Amino acid sequence: MAPGNSETACLTVYNEGQIGFSSTMRVTLADGSQILFDVLDLMITDADGNRLYTGKLKGLQNTELGTLNGGQSESFYFTVGFPAECGNEYQNLNALINFVIEAAESPFLLQVLWEPPLEVSDVNVREGTIMPVRFHLENNGEYDTVRRGLDLIISGVDGNDSPVQYIFSVTEGTLLWKESPQKPYYELPLLDTRIYPLKSDSYYTATVKYGDLVLGTTRFKSGH
């Protein structure tokens, strides 16, 4: 690359897990010329053209790349420039550079928003009724549009005061994902208390889990 020229390359970061993460990037000189490493310019942009970094290549230290949800990917564009004022002292020099990405889980990006009747904690549900359970996921203030392998767990006691857990899963098809451009949601169409017995005057907890991560809980009471 001659002085005054630049080259651009694309790097795509994948999150193959279930939990979102935030990431930062730093650069190190693995081998080669220190003076060449010190003089090179760098610009990083995302897929929308937003600039994430502009400056000397050596100055890229713990620069934030943003957050990436589970199952998603994002591309970044790196433009390395060789300043036009560089002279003959840089001829035949080379540098091997490592770009290091460090990721940290961001488990609190997702939040459960319950729909009626469970939007109010401690609501009474009559014994023997068929109750729909519906909720949304919110991701940084916006409705989450990614279908996720969630579990809905309803725990309490049965008619004999023995502990019970009723588990409904997106993976197994017992918890449904309803795709919608405005407000996608998860739904247990019928919590039939004749099939899943609830004891009168007892409290039950509804918990949404994403793997081992608890995203939200609410409580309701089984009435007469």
pLDDT tens digits, residue range 168-201?
999 999 999 998 877 899 998 877 777 777 787 8
For 27, half-sphere exposure in the C-beta direction (CA atoms, 13 angstrom radius) is 23
Q: Which residue has the tokens 């994002």?
A: 74
Please tell me which residue, 44 or 128, carries the higher pLDDT value.
44
- CA–CA distance, 112 with 136 (Å, rounded to integer): 6
What are the domain boundaries of the chain? 6-105, 110-223
pLDDT tens, position by position, 143-164 = 888 888 999 999 988 878 888 8
Q: Are 168 and 174 in contact (CB under 8 A)?
A: yes
Name the CATH architecture for the domain at 110-223.
Sandwich (2.60)
The SS3 assignment for 165 reads: strand
- CA–CA distance, 37 with 204 (Å, rounded to integer): 62
Tokens of 186: 């998860």
Cis bond leading into 184, ω under 30°? no
Res 128 pLDDT > 80: no
Q: Are 13 and 76 in contact (CB under 8 A)?
A: yes
Q: Read off φ and ψ for residue 55, nearest 5 degrees.
A: 160, -165
Query: Percent of the chain having pLDDT more than 70?
Result: 93
Q: Are 97 and 78 in contact (CB under 8 A)?
A: no
**pTM for the full predicted model:** 0.53
Going by C-alpha positions, the residue among 36, 41, 39, 31 that lies closest to residue 92 is: 36
